[in-house]
Amino acid sequence: MQSVIDRFIRYVKIDTQSIHKSTTYPSTEKQLNLGRLLVDELKELGLEDAEMDRFGYVTATQPANTQRPGVPVIGFLAHMDTSPDLSGENVTPQFIENYDGGIITLNAEKGIFMDPEEFPDLKKYIGKTLITTDGTTLLGADDKAGIAEIMAAVEYLLEHPEIPHGTIKIGFTPDEEVGAGVDHFDVAAFGADFAYTVDGGEIGEIQYENFNAAGAELIIHGRNVHPGKSKLKMRNALLIGMELNELLPIFERPEHTEHYEGFYHLFQFGGSVEEASMTYIIRDHDRTKFEEKKNLLTKAVEFINAKCGEQIIDLKIEDQYYNMREQIAPYPQIMDTAIRAIQAVGITPKIDPVRGGTDGSRLSYMGLPTPNLFTGGHYGHGKYEFIPTFAMEKAVEVLVKIAELIAQS
C-alpha cells in the first residue's frame, strides 16, 4: 500500500492553481493534469468507472462489499485546485522530523522563518514530523492532503475486505478556491445519499457550519483635473474609496474577528484619480447579521452618492453561498457517525464553524448534505502552510472507520 505521505508529495508537485474571473471552466487547464493522474490511479486500484468529465470533475465508485440491505451510499470529496493567493508551482516540501518546538527555517537565503510565538499551533506538534514549504510557494495541503487521504482510504479498504462498507462515491473537484467548485457538479449522477468533504484543518475538526457569503464589487467614477487647477473640480476616486471603507466598522475586519464573528474584507483596491475599483467579501454565520452587513455597505454607498449629489459609485452585491447548517442539521446521523469515527481512532472531535467556504456548503443546498472533515493542515494559502504527517494518517483512519460504521448502522 502506498503511504498517504507519498501520495501527498506526488500531488503537491503538480501545479493546480486556479484563478479568479476566468472565462473557462475549470479556470486553469493545469488542474486537469492532476485530474488525469487521479483517474489513472483510481483505475489502477480497480475502480473501473473512474473518469474525468468535460468540466474536470473526477468521479469513481468503490462497490459495496456487504450484502446488508439499506446501507446508505456515501461520498468522499476533495478539491484539486490550490489558492490564487500564492504560487503553487515548483512546490518543494520540507520534512521537519521530531520537531523540537523551536523556530523553523523555511528559507535561510530569503530569511523566512516560522516562530512558534507567531504561529502557536506549532507548539501542539513537538516530537512530530511536519511537512512545510520552502518559503517560496504554498504547500497545497489545502486540499491535496484531502485527496491523498481519500485515495489512501480507498486503497486500504480494497486491501482489507474484512472491513465491511457500503458503496462509496469518490469526487475530486476543480476551482473550489475561486468559489466555483460545484458550478457544474451533477449531484443526481454522483449518486450519494450524503457525503463528506475532506477539506478541513487541524486534526479532529469536523464542521457543519460555515459563513453565509457575498461578494461586492464597486466602481468609483472620479474626475481628474490638473492638480494645480483642481480646486472644486477634482474628484479623487481613490480617496473616495478610502472614505467609503472608513464608513464600515473597523472591528468587523478579518484581522479583528474569530469564531462566529463575521466581517467585511477589502481584498482588492486599485485604480486612479479618474476611476477606481474595490472588491469586498462579506461573511457572517448568522443569516440576519449577514443581511445587515450587506445593507450597511449599500447605505454607505448611498450616503456618498447623496453627499456628491450624483451616483459616482456603482455597487453590485451577489450572494455566493449560505451556511450549510440549515441543510445538515435535519440529518444528525451524518455528524454523529463522523464524531464516533474520530473518537474511535483516538482523537478528540473539535466541532468548529468553518471560517470560510467549502464545496460542502453548496452541495448541501443542492440536495447532498455534506459536512467537512479535517485534513490536518494549518495556515493554508500561504508560505507558512504546514501539515503534521501523523494527522494525515489519522484522517485516513477516520475515513475508513466512517465507511465501516455506516455499513454497521
- Contact residues for 276 (Cβ-Cβ < 8 A; gap 6+): 219, 220, 222, 237, 238, 240, 241, 269, 270
Q: Give the mean pLDDT of 231-239.
A: 94
CA 30 – CA 50 distance, rounded (Å): 19
With beta carbons less than 8 A apart as the criterion, state whether 13 and 137 touch.
no
| 219-228 residue pLDDT tens | 999 999 999 9
Phi, psi at residue 169, to the nearest 5°?
Answer: -100, 130
| Bridge pairing between strands 194-198 and 74-79 | parallel
Q: Three-state SS for 60?
A: strand
Q: Which of 15, 41, 81, 252 does the annotation list as catalytic?
A: 81
| Mean pLDDT, the chain, whole residue set | 96
pLDDT band at 97 (very low <50, low <70, confident <90, very high): very high
Reported as a single tens digit per residue, the pLDDT across 187-209 is 999 999 999 999 999 999 999 99
For the stretch 100-130, pLDDT in tens is 999 999 999 999 999 999 999 999 999 999 9
Helix H or strand E segment including 373: strand 372-373
Question: Is the pLDDT assigned to residue 328 strictly greater than 80?
Answer: yes
Q: How many CB atoms lie within 10 A of CB 406?
A: 22
Give me the pLDDT at residue 123, please: 96
| pLDDT value for 390 | 97
Q: Establish whether 176 is a catalytic residue.
A: yes
Q: Is residue 271 within 8 Å of 220, Cβ to Cβ?
A: yes
Instruction: Assign 104 to helix, strand or coil.
Output: strand
pLDDT of residue 272: 97
pLDDT reported for residue 356: 79
pLDDT band at 179 (very low <50, low <70, confident <90, very high): confident
Q: Helix (H, G, I), strand (E, B), or coil: what is residue 131?
A: strand
Q: What confidence tens digit (pLDDT) does each residue in 128-142 have?
A: 999 999 999 999 999
Q: Which of 143, 155, 175, 176 is catalytic?
A: 176
**Res. 21: pLDDT tops 90:** no
Residue from 207, 200, 214, 217 nearest 284 by CA: 214
**C-alpha torsion sign, points 239, 244, 248, 252:** negative
Are 394 and 400 in contact by the 8 Å Cβ rule? The answer is no
Q: Where are the beta strands (DSSP E) in 272-371?
A: 275-284, 313-321, 350-351
pLDDT given at position 80:
98
Task: Report phi then psi at 177, rounded to 5.
Answer: -70, -15
At 308, give phi and psi (nearest 5°): -85, -10
List strand residue ranges (DSSP E) for 167-262, in order. 168-173, 194-198, 205-207, 212-221
Contact 265, 280 (CB under 8 A): yes
Which residues lie below 8 Å from residue 172, measured CB to CB, with a gap of 6+?
35, 38, 57, 58, 59, 77, 78, 79, 80, 147, 150
The CA R_g of the chain, rounded to the nearest whole Å, is 23
| Predicted TM-score of the model (pTM) | 0.89
Residue 272: Cβ-neighbour burial (10 angstroms; 0-12, 13-18, 19+): exposed
97 is catalytic: no
Q: Which three cell numbers stand for residue 377?
A: 493542515
Q: Is 321 helix (H, G, I), strand (E, B) or coil?
A: strand
Residue 86 C-alpha cell reads as: 500564492
Q: Percentage of residues in the chain with pLDDT exceeding 90?
A: 95
Residues 6+ apart with CB under 8 A from 272: 222, 224, 237, 238
DSSP structural state of residue 223: B
Q: Average pLDDT in the 362-374 region? A: 96
Please give the residue that has the higher pLDDT: either 358 or 42: 42
Each residue of 313-347: b (16+ CB within 10 Å) or e? bebebeebbbbbbebbeeeeebbebbeebbeeeeb
pLDDT of 357 above 90: no
pLDDT at residue 1 greater than cutoff 80: no
- The yes-or-no verdict on residue 375 having pLDDT over 70 is yes
